[in-house]
Amino acid sequence: MSQIITVHSYRGGTGKSSTAANLGLLLASSGLRVALVDTDIQTPALNVMFGDITIPARRSLTDYLIGRCEIEDAAYAVDQSAGHEGLFLIPARSQSTGVNEIMGRGYDVGLLREGFDRLIDTLALDVLLLDTHAGFNNETVTAMASSDALVVVTRADRLDLAGARETTALAGRLGFGALSVAVNMAPQGAVSERMIGEVESAYRTRITTVLPYAPEMAQIAGERVFATAYPHHPLVSGFRRIISDVSNGTTAIRR
């Protein structure tokens, strides 16, 4: 049975899109068929991270939403020679669709769920992974409402925790099968037991993993997926723990 997983953060700059990209790559590397959908139309990121192993996008999620193409036309197979067989990317925007045009003419957010279902059927997917815009907008809420599991990426500071109540309240109303909270960019030794307790209290669930700050992430500057460049790094072990936490059996990942 296929699974839809949404990756979300209340604020920008938490490493949400990088986390989504790494989860998708690790799932595909385990032999599953996975599609990554960038639903962040305003500030897309996944096309940059996979830019070296995909062709320039001629169609995108936005083109589908404004009626220019079918959703399957916007799905690009990530280069299989790079070891990512079974991984597909649906970028938020194509080269021909600027954000001003999109916001000016409007689009039908109601088509999202239909598009997700068609991608699962057409591509015979095991996992559909949705990267969202930070905070809440129509695309984000629709993505979350369509999902079986939610991965929340946060940092252990007051600003990031400020939105925890809204996130958990919405998650409670939508009724996810699994909720995973990952504290990202944690300097070594900086996340105390007290802070972990505050995060778990704010989100009303246990923390799945604390993802360490990795200087190597800055070195690749978002131009590569971290799990490809540093497959044995402790950060990648954290990504694997997230997958294990939200797995419904379909997403069992081989180590």
Of 34, 46, 154, 12, residue with least CA distance to 84? 34
Listed residue (131, 181, 109) closest to 151, CA to CA:
181
How confident is the model over 30-53, as pLDDT tens digits? 999 999 999 998 888 888 888 755
Report the predicted TM-score, pTM, of the whole model to 2 decimal places: 0.91
Q: Which residue ranges form the domains of the chain, and what is each CATH number? A: 3-152+215-237 (3.40.50.300)
> Taking the C-alpha atoms of 76, 82, 86 and 88 in order, what is their torsion angle to the nearest 10 degrees?
-20
Distance linking the first and last C-alpha atoms of the chain? 21
**Interval 90-147: pLDDT, tens:** 999 876 666 666 666 667 788 999 999 999 999 999 999 999 999 998 889 999 999 9
Cβ contact 19:7 at 8 Å: yes
Q: What is the pLDDT of residues 159-216, one digit of tens each?
A: 888 888 888 889 889 887 888 999 999 887 667 788 888 889 989 888 999 999 999 9
